[in-house]
Amino acid sequence: MSPLLKVEGVSKRFRGLLAVDKVSFEVPQGGIYAVIGPNGAGKTTLFNMIAGVFAPDGGDITFAGERIDGLLPNQVAQRGIGRTFQIVRPFPALTVEENVVVGALMKRKDVSAARAHAHDVMRRLDLYDKRAQRASSMTLPDRKRLEVARALATDPKLLLLDEVMAGLRPTETDRIVAILKELNRDSGLTILLIEHVMRAVMALAQHIVVLHHGANIAEGAPVDVVRDKAVIDSYLGAEAV
Ligand SMILES: Nc1ncnc2c1ncn2[C@@H]1O[C@H](COP(=O)(O)OP(=O)(O)OP(=O)(O)O)[C@@H](O)[C@H]1O
Output the pLDDT for position 87: 67
Output the pLDDT for position 192: 98
- Which residues are near ligand 1 (CB < 6 Å)? 14, 17, 19, 37, 39-45, 86
Closest among 89, 62, 92 to 76, alpha carbons compared:
62
Output the pLDDT for position 8: 98
Give the span between the Cα atoms of 103 and 151, in whole angstroms. 7
ipTM of the complex: 0.96
Output the pLDDT for position 86: 67
**Is residue 2's pLDDT more than 80?**
no
* Phi, psi dihedral angles at 58 (to 5 degrees): -160, 155
Which CATH fold would you assign to the domain 28-92+156-235?
Rossmann fold (3.40.50)
Output the pLDDT for position 49: 97
pLDDT in tens, 77-107: 999 999 987 666 778 889 999 999 999 998 8
Which atom belonging to ligand 1 lies closest to the Cα atom of 41? 21
Nearest-CA residue for atom 27 of ligand 1? 39
Out of 11, 15, 35, 43, give the residue to mutate to test ligand 1, the one with the largest number of ligand atoms within 8 Å of its CB.
Answer: 43
Output the pLDDT for position 84: 87
Nearest-CA residue for atom 17 of ligand 1? 44
H-assigned helices in 55-197: 73-79, 96-104, 111-124, 140-152, 170-187
Output the pLDDT for position 235: 87
* Range 102-130 average pLDDT: 94
Question: Measured in Å, how far apart are the chain's first and last C-alpha atoms?
Answer: 34
Distance from the alpha carbon of residue 220 to the mean position of ligand 1, in angstroms: 24
Distance from the alpha carbon of residue 110 to the mean position of ligand 1, in angstroms: 38
Give the span between the Cα atoms of 191 and 84, in whole angstroms. 12
Closest among 172, 185, 175, 145 to 161, alpha carbons compared:
145
Output the pLDDT for position 90: 76
Every domain of the chain and the residues it spans: 28-92+156-235
**Is residue 146's pLDDT more than 80?**
yes
Nearest-CA residue for atom 26 of ligand 1? 39
**Is residue 238's pLDDT more than 60?**
no
* Range 178-187 average pLDDT: 95
Residue 81 bridge partners (DSSP): 158
* Range 16-33 average pLDDT: 97
| Long-range CB contact pairs, 122-126, < 8 A, 24+ | 122/96, 122/97, 122/149, 124/149, 124/152, 124/179, 124/182, 124/183, 125/149, 125/152, 125/179, 126/175, 126/179
Give the span between the Cα atoms of 33 and 3, in whole angstroms. 12
pLDDT in tens, 29-50: 999 999 999 999 999 999 999 9
**C-beta of residue 173 within 8 angstroms of C-beta of residue 197:** yes
Which atom belonging to ligand 1 lies closest to the Cα atom of 20? 14
